[in-house]
Amino acid sequence: MIVALAAMTLLTFTQVVLRYVFGTGFVWSLEATTYLFAWLVLIGMSYGVRTQAHIAVDLVTSRLPPPAARGVALVALVCALAYCALMIYGSWVFVDRLIALGNDARDIPLPRWLLTAVMPFGFALLAARLLQGAREIVR
């Protein structure tokens, strides 16, 4: 995540300097920044679950008795895991179709499937972190 953020920042800064100081720029910078941001977000989701950095609204669950609060948390985790399963499947189908089509990215000389393969990977990481959270709740 640090590498993606640093690369995005450096690339954007370089692009701004090239455009406004020298009147030129990289054609591929916007697309590269977009893909880097996608990688950052999709990998960052699982990191946010691991470090408990996501926003949690516990107004109701904090007033419930502990067994009921655990039940609500497990239901929420099951819903999140179902969402991850749908996204893993849908993104896998998307990446598989990109492989079959053989499309390259618009401005980057790489296959588009390679740049979007982070989607099933990121949601699989998120599902793994959610399963770890469920294990902690059950304990």
Report the predicted TM-score, pTM, of the whole model to 2 decimal places: 0.86
CB 26 within 8 A of CB 109: no
The number of distinct structural domains making up the chain is 1
pLDDT per residue, tens digit, the chain (139 aa), is: 999 999 999 999 999 999 999 999 999 999 999 999 999 999 999 999 888 887 777 788 888 898 898 999 899 999 999 999 999 999 999 999 999 999 999 999 999 999 999 999 999 999 999 999 899 888 8
* Structural domain span for residue 95: 2-138
Helix (H) or strand (E) holding 6: helix 2-22
Coil/strand/helix, residue 92: helix
